Amino acid sequence: MCVIMNISKRIEIKVIPNSSSNEVIEGDSGELIVRVRAVPEKGRANRAVIKTLEEYFNADIRIVSGTRSRRKVVEITER
């Protein structure tokens, strides 16, 4: 019998929409700040956050809470 386990972790991030580039940086207090070029309309910024974090962590990303806030909790799951 083969059991496949996906390891996941939840972290809190701060999002800055309408930025000049898509990037992930570490803030002074150690929190992750995700800058995205997308505007916060119709889920565009959230989709950009997911894509940016997926590239950064090379993992699957899901927004757990804060879909309408700049502070979000995301779940990172190994691929």
Res. 2 pLDDT band, cuts 50 70 90? low
pLDDT tops 80 at residue 71: yes
pLDDT digits 0-9 by tens, 8-53: 999 999 999 999 999 999 989 889 999 999 999 999 999 999 999 9
Q: How confident is the model at residue 4 (pLDDT cuts 50, 70, 90)?
A: low
pTM: 0.90
State how far the alpha carbon of 57 is from the alpha carbons of 1, 21, 23, 33, 42, in Å: 30, 17, 12, 14, 25
**Hey, what domains does the chain have and what are their CATH numbers?**
8-77 (3.30.1200.10)
